[in-house]
Structure 1
């Protein structure tokens, strides 16, 4: 089998696992962490190593594709296909030696996200467009959708997001009308948990593609809806179609 014979999904899985292995190895030693934009936005030495490990896999198997990573990888491709890499999604947890972090890789083409892998060392969440979403090989599905007042919704707001237009107002409306607001983990994992029926919905303002696209494909392939809505600030919303409609209604 030549590199070009491998499926995009198998390559995404290999890249995500390579990133996770590199991050785990780096965490066995001392870690240096620094804040990027705000104190809750950390980067460690391991982030770059994890990203480099994933990028190496992608460039071996898909050398003509573009590759973009959170920590600065930006390889121009000869096609319209783009890989997004988050070597460590959940760096604050990673640096604190809390288990809720993951590695995420997704390929996007002209039609949107095509294949994705989100790996946390125990569970591998995967999806390919039109073929469903899976956790460790078992099919994922959203749980029966409650109304917003009974829903468990993931929301992440830090200092740099709270100052964006309209975000505080939306946050207050969510707190008033949602059954339970949770921040259970990094974006890719929370979206994977929506797809697996563990959370009901997910909403965040102004999210980067490597934090949104891997999990968005998981949700849609599990039978849900994942949308980007532009208001005063751009929002990303995922869950069952009915719950997404309720969440989007709060963005006015």
Structure 2
């Protein structure tokens, strides 16, 4: 069983600014938002770089769940600028999420720092993740790693770019030749046995496995061919929304562990591949 399909220049990428068909609820087209949003994310990335060098405060939200002053500062800066850019749009952000899904107007879905634990330990592998949804459809996705100055941008119907270079999923056709990334849920430790049983099956059948702790980058890496697949049992919308659109636009396949479309407004499981190892990997990850 597999997924049921539905349907390095640091300057902002002008090549993505072409017209696309969108809901009439948009005051401006998604294409017109690309350049200003890229600038917003690059500016916010400077906060991360400066704080990473100078130190920052850390607060424990719950067991295994932390927030840094960088998360809060980056979120505030991005939210303030998005509210000026698109005042009629809703915003769902990790540190201040909406109570109910928004479907009557466009909604930004933001993770100010995906990979907070990496940031806390000065492991320079974290990213800002931002998506724009129109109802149940994702229309824009951005993932920015300020440490490498890599900005992934997806526009529905127009593909994916890494800075100014168009990217696609890999051409790998067999799991035995595949590099597969996975995520673990630190808040559900009781699921560790089942999680690592799946990982073991994939490890034995694939070329190699990886765990980075940054789902947004894992998905962006599937989109650009660095990874061939990614799976995680439970993610929040701000973790996966931008990367989900990227994998789809780059030619890959995305679904949840039931083989159904992923719910972009609620937590869900996630299974993403280049589309070529889909069935083979799905049978290992999502079998009972």
**1:199 matches 2:224:** no
**1:222 matches 2:279:** no
Q: Which residue of 1 aligns with 2:120?
A: 95
Q: Which residue of 1 aligns with 2:144?
A: 119
Which secondary structure does the structure 1 equivalent of 2:153 belong to? strand
Q: How far has the Cα of 1:141 moved from its partner?
A: 1.0
User: CA RMSD for the aligned pairs?
Assistant: 2.6
Q: Which residue of 1 aligns with 2:3?
A: none
The 2-side partners of 1:32 and 1:63 are apart by: 31
Q: How far has the Cα of 1:177 moved from its partner?
A: 2.5
> Quick one: structure 1 residues 125 and 45, their matched pair in 2 at CA, closer, same or farther if it must change by over 3 Å?
same
The 2-side partners of 1:75 and 1:24 are apart by: 31
Q: How far has the Cα of 1:50 moved from its partner?
A: 0.5
Q: Deviations over 1:101-145 (max 9, x none)?
A: 111111011252111111112111101000010011110011212
Aligned counterpart for 1:69 among listed residues 93, 114, 117: 93
Structure 1 window deviating more from structure 2 (242-251 vs 29-38): it is 29-38
Structure 2: state its 5+ residue gaps.
1-26, 260-266
> Quick one: structure 1 residues 78 and 178, their matched pair in 2 at CA, closer, same or farther if it must change by over 3 Å?
closer
Structure 1: state its 5+ residue gaps.
none
Q: Which residue of 1 aligns with 2:57?
A: 32
The 2-side partners of 1:78 and 1:133 are apart by: 25
Aligned counterpart for 1:238 among listed residues 272, 284, 288: 272
Q: Report the TM-score, using the length of structure 2 for normalisation.
A: 0.77
> Quick one: structure 1 residues 57 and 117, their matched pair in 2 at CA, closer, same or farther if it must change by over 3 Å?
same
The 2-side partners of 1:210 and 1:34 are apart by: 20
Q: Which residue of 2 aligns with 1:155?
A: 182
Q: How far has the Cα of 1:234 moved from its partner?
A: 4.7
> Quick one: structure 1 residues 168 and 190, their matched pair in 2 at CA, closer, same or farther if it must change by over 3 Å?
closer
The 2-side partners of 1:195 and 1:204 are apart by: 16
> Quick one: structure 1 residues 235 and 247, their matched pair in 2 at CA, closer, same or farther if it must change by over 3 Å?
farther
The 1-side partners of 2:184 and 2:28 are apart by: 41
Q: Report the TM-score, using the length of structure 1 for normalisation.
A: 0.87
Q: How far has the Cα of 1:28 moved from its partner?
A: 3.9
The 2-side partners of 1:130 and 1:106 are apart by: 15
Q: What is the count of residue pairs matched by the alignment?
A: 248
The 1-side partners of 2:107 and 2:211 are apart by: 29
> Quick one: structure 1 residues 201 and 162, their matched pair in 2 at CA, closer, same or farther if it must change by over 3 Å?
farther
The 2-side partners of 1:138 and 1:21 are apart by: 22
Structure number with greater CO (CA < 8 Å, separation at least 6) is 2
Which secondary structure does the structure 2 equivalent of 1:242 belong to? coil
Q: Which residue of 2 aligns with 1:186?
A: 214
Aligned counterpart for 2:161 among listed residues 134, 148, 151: 134
- Runs (4 or more) in structure 1 with deviation over 4 Å come to 3-6, 75-78
Structure 1 window deviating more from structure 2 (58-67 vs 151-160): it is 151-160
Which secondary structure does the structure 2 equivalent of 1:238 belong to? strand
Q: How far has the Cα of 1:54 moved from its partner?
A: 1.0
The 2-side partners of 1:183 and 1:243 are apart by: 19
> Quick one: structure 1 residues 74 and 56, their matched pair in 2 at CA, closer, same or farther if it must change by over 3 Å?
farther
> Quick one: structure 1 residues 8 and 161, their matched pair in 2 at CA, closer, same or farther if it must change by over 3 Å?
farther
